[in-house]
C-alpha cells in the first residue's frame, strides 16, 4: 500500500513539474526571452530538481511557483550570476573575511558565516557586496546541489553602525526567492539587546515558510546547533580555523594525509601510488584493526586500491552493500546515489554502494576522497571506467566507527584520451582543474530500533565517554530525521491546501447565490 501511495505521489509530482514548465513557457516566454539568461531557461526545462525546488518552497501551488521562478530568473540575469567568478569580485571583499563558507552544523549542513562586525554600510559598494553573496551561494550550489545551508550571523562585538537592513533583506531574499530550499536554518548569535527592534522587522520579511528556521542563540546556546569543533574560540568552540585570503577557504580540499603517515603533497602522494599498491592490498581488509589518531577534517584519497581479484568477481565484493536508488546526471559520469550514502548500525548495514556510469565516448579516470579517512574503507578508490561501462565502489565503515552527518565523500572524474590505466598517477598530475568533474555525497545514519532498547535490557545506563558519544549520535540522527519529516509534512500540507482551494467556478456560483438571495 505504501509503495502504491509513493508511486502515485511521484506521478503527481511529475505532472506538477510538467504543468509548471508548460505554463511558464506559455505565460512568461511568449513575448520575450531577453529578460532571462538562456542557460537558466535550459536548466528549467531539463533538470527536474530545479523545478521541484521551486514547487516545494511554494507548497506545490503552481501559480505562486511561477511568480517565484520569474523573479528568481530575472534576478539571476540582472546580477550575471552564471558569469560570477572569483576574478569578477573586488579582491578587498575576499580579504575582509566578512562572508565565507566553513564547517558544518550537527545535521551536516554547510555553515555560511556572516561576521557582522566586519560589515560597514556603504551605498557605493552595496551592489558589489550583493554579488559577493551571490558568488558564494552559486559556488556552493554547483558543488553540493540539493544540500541546504545554515546561515550563521555572528554578531559578536557588533553595533548599530554594522546593521544594514537593505543588505539583510537581500540575504533573506536570496533564500526566500532566489535559492529555494537552500535554507536549513538561520542562527543569530550574540545579538545585542539594542538590535531587538531591527530583528523583529527581519522576522516579518522571512514569511511563514521560513520563520520557523530563524534561531536566536547566546554563546552558551549555539552548541545546540553546532559542535564545538566548528565554532571559533570566542563562541566557546575549539576550531583553529582563521580566515585568510588567498586562497578561498574551503576545508573540503586541504592537502591529503597519507595512510597512517605524515601530511604529504598531492604530487608526492600520487607519485607513490605504484610502490604503495602491494602494501595497501594487504591493509585493505574491511575487518582489519588499524590504530589511528583523530584527524582534522580534510578530503583524503583513500589508500585502498582495487585488487586484481576484485575486478574479476565484483559480485563478491559488493555483496551485502546497500544499493543506491537515486542518480546524479553528470557531464562525464552518472553518480548513484545522487546526494547521500546511507549506513545503519548493524554489522550488515555498514556497507554502501556507489555506482559510476561512464556517459562519454572515452575512458574516464576517477578517484574517491573523504573527510573522514580513518572511518571508511573504499574499494576501488582510484581507477578508470570504459565508455558506456559502470564501476561499483564499496564504501565500508571501519571497525566500530559511527557515521556522522558531517562526513563527506568527493567523487573526482576526468576524461582520458590515449592514456593507459598504468599512467593514472601522471594523468592526475597533468589534468587541468577545469576539466575535472566533481560531485559530493554526504553521509546519513539510518534509524535503528535496537539502538534505544538493547542497552536498557542488558546493562545499566552508560555514563562513560563512549555513552555520551552514543547519545550525541542518536540526537544527531533524530535531528536529521526531524528535518526529513518536516519536509514531507510541508509537501503534504501543500497538496492539502491545493485540494481545499475552491475553484473559480465554485466561487462564482457562491457569489451569484448570495446576490440572488
Whether domain 328-445 has CATH 2.60.40.10: the reply is yes
* Residue 459 to residue 99: CA distance in whole angstroms: 49
The residue among 244 and 6 whose pLDDT is bigger is 244
Q: Tell me which CATH homologous superfamily contains domain 89-235.
A: CRAL-TRIO lipid binding domain (3.40.525.10)
pTM for this model (two decimals): 0.65
Q: Over the stretch 435-460, which tens digit does the pLDDT of each residue have?
A: 999 998 888 888 765 444 433 334 44
Q: Which of 256-265, 421-430, 460-469, 491-500 has the lowest mean pLDDT?
A: 256-265
Q: Cis omega before residue 247 (within 30°)?
A: yes
Determine the 3-state secondary structure of 193 from DSSP.
Answer: helix
At 77 the pLDDT is 95
DSSP structural state of residue 490: H
- Name the one residue in this structure whose C-alpha cell is 522571512: 206
Q: Are strands 382-385 and 340-343 parallel, antiparallel or unpaired?
A: unpaired
At 206 the pLDDT is 72
Q: Which residues 6+ apart lie within 8 Å of 331 measured at CB? A: 359, 437
The stretch 239-251 carries a mean pLDDT of: 83
Q: How far apart are the first and last CA of the chain?
A: 47
Contacts made by residues 327-331, CB under 8 angstroms, sequence distance 24+: 328/145, 328/439, 330/359, 330/413, 330/437, 330/439, 331/359, 331/437
Q: Are strands 340-343 and 437-445 parallel, antiparallel or unpaired?
A: parallel
* Residue 413 to residue 394: CA distance in whole angstroms: 17
- Return the domain boundaries, the chain: 10-81, 89-235, 328-445
The stretch 357-382 carries a mean pLDDT of: 90
The stretch 102-117 carries a mean pLDDT of: 93
The stretch 156-174 carries a mean pLDDT of: 89
* Residue 368 to residue 378: CA distance in whole angstroms: 8
pLDDT band at 265 (very low <50, low <70, confident <90, very high): very low
Q: Over the stretch 291-340, which tens digit does the pLDDT of each residue have?
A: 333 344 445 444 333 334 444 455 555 666 778 888 888 899 999 998 88
The residue among 146 and 482 whose pLDDT is bigger is 146
The residue among 473 and 86 whose pLDDT is bigger is 86
For the cut 80, the answer to whether the pLDDT of residue 276 exceeds it is: no
Here the cell at position 72 is 528568481
Q: Which of 341-350, 445-454, 477-486 has the lowest mean pLDDT?
A: 445-454
The stretch 254-282 carries a mean pLDDT of: 37
At 485 the pLDDT is 63
pLDDT band at 19 (very low <50, low <70, confident <90, very high): very high
At 349 the pLDDT is 77
pLDDT band at 94 (very low <50, low <70, confident <90, very high): very high
Amino acid at each position: 500500500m505504501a509503495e502504491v501511495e509513493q508511486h502515485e505521489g511521484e506521478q503527481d509530482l511529475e505532472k506538477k513539474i510538467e504543468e509548471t514548465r508548460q505554463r511558464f513557457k506559455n505565460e512568461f516566454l511568449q513575448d520575450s526571452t531577453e529578460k532571462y539568461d538562456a542557460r537558466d531557461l535550459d536548466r528549467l526545462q531539463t533538470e527536474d530538481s530545479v523545478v521541484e525546488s521551486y514547487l516545494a518552497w511554494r507548497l506545490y501551488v503552481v501559480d505562486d511557483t511561477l511568480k517565484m521562478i520569474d523573479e528568481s530568473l530575472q534576478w539571476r540575469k540582472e546580477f550575471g550570476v552564471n558569469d560570477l567568478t572569483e576574478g569578477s569580485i573586488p579582491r578587498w571583499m575576499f580579504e575582509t573575511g566578512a562572508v565565507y563558507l566553513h564547517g558544518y552544523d550537527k545535521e551536516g549542513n554547510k555553515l555560511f558565516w556572516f561576521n557582522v562586525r566586519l560589515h560597514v554600510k556603504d551605498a557605493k559598494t552595496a551592489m558589489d557586496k550583493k554579488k559577493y553573496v551571490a558568488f558564494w551561494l552559486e559556488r556552493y550550489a554547483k558543488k553540493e546541489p540539493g544540500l541546504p545551508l545554515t546561515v550563521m550571523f555572528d554578531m559578536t562585538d557588533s553595533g548599530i553602525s554594522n546593521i544594514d537592513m537593505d543588505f539583510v533583506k537581500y540575504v533573506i531574499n536570496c533564500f526566500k526567492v532566489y535559492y529555494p530550499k537552500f535554507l536549513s536554518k538561520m542562527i543569530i548569535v550574540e545579538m545585542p539587546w539594542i538590535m531587538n527592534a531591527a530583528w523583529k522587522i527581519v522576522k516579518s520579511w522571512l514569511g511563514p515558510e521560513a520563520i520557523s528556521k530563524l534561531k536566536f542563540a547566546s554563546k552558551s546556546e549555539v552548541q545546540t546547533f553546532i559542535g564545538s569543533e566548528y565554532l571559533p574560540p570566542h563562541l566557546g568552540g575549539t576550531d583553529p580555523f582563521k580566515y585568510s585570503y588567498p586562497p578561498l577557504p574551503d576545508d573540503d580540499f586541504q592537502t591529503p594525509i597519507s595512510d597512517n603517515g605524515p601530511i604529504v603533497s598531492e604530487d608526492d602522494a600520487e607519485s607513490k601510488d605504484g610502490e604503495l599498491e602491494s602494501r595497501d592490498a594487504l591493509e585493505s581488509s574491511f575487518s582489519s584493526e588499524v590504530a589511528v589518531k583523530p584527524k582534522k577534517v580534510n578530503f583524503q584519497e583513500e589508500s585502498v586500491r582495487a585488487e586484481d581479484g576484485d575486478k574479476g568477481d565484483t559480485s563478491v565484493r559488493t555483496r551485502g552493500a546497500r544499493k543506491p536508488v537515486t542518480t546524479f546526471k553528470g557531464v562525464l559520469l552518472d553518480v548513484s546515489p545522487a546526494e547521500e550514502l546511507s549506513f545503519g548500525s548493524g554489522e550488515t548495514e555498514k556497507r554502501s554502494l556507489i555506482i559510476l556510469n561512464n556517459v562519454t565516448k572515452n575512458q574516464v579516470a576517477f578517484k574517491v576522497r573523504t573527510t573522514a579517512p580513518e572511518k571508511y574503507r573504499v574499494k576501488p578508490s582510484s581507477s578508470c571506467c570504459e565508455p558506456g561501462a559502470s564501476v561499483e565502489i564499496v564504501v565500508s565503515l571501519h571497525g566500530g566507527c559511527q557515521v556522522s552527518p558531517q562526513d563527506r565523500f568527493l567523487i573526482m572524474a576526468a576524461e582520458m584520451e590515449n592514456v593507459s590505466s598504468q599512467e593514472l598517477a601522471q594523468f592526475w598530475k597533468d589534468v587541468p582543474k577545469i576539466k575535472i568533474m566533481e560531485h559530493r555525497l554526504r553521509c546519513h545514519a539510518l534509524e535503528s530500533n535496537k539502538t534505544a532498547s538493547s542497552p536498557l535490557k542488558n546493562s545499566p545506563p552508560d555514563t562513560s565517554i563512549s555513552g555520551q558519544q552514543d547519545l550525541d549520535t542518536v540526537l544527531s540522527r533524530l535531528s536529521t530525521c526531524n528535518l526529513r519529516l518536516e519536509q514531507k509534512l510541508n509537501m503534504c500540507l501543500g497538496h492539502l491546501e491545493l485540494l481545499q482551494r475552491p475553484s473559480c467556478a465554485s466561487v462564482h456560483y457562491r457569489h451569484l447565490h448570495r446576490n440572488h438571495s
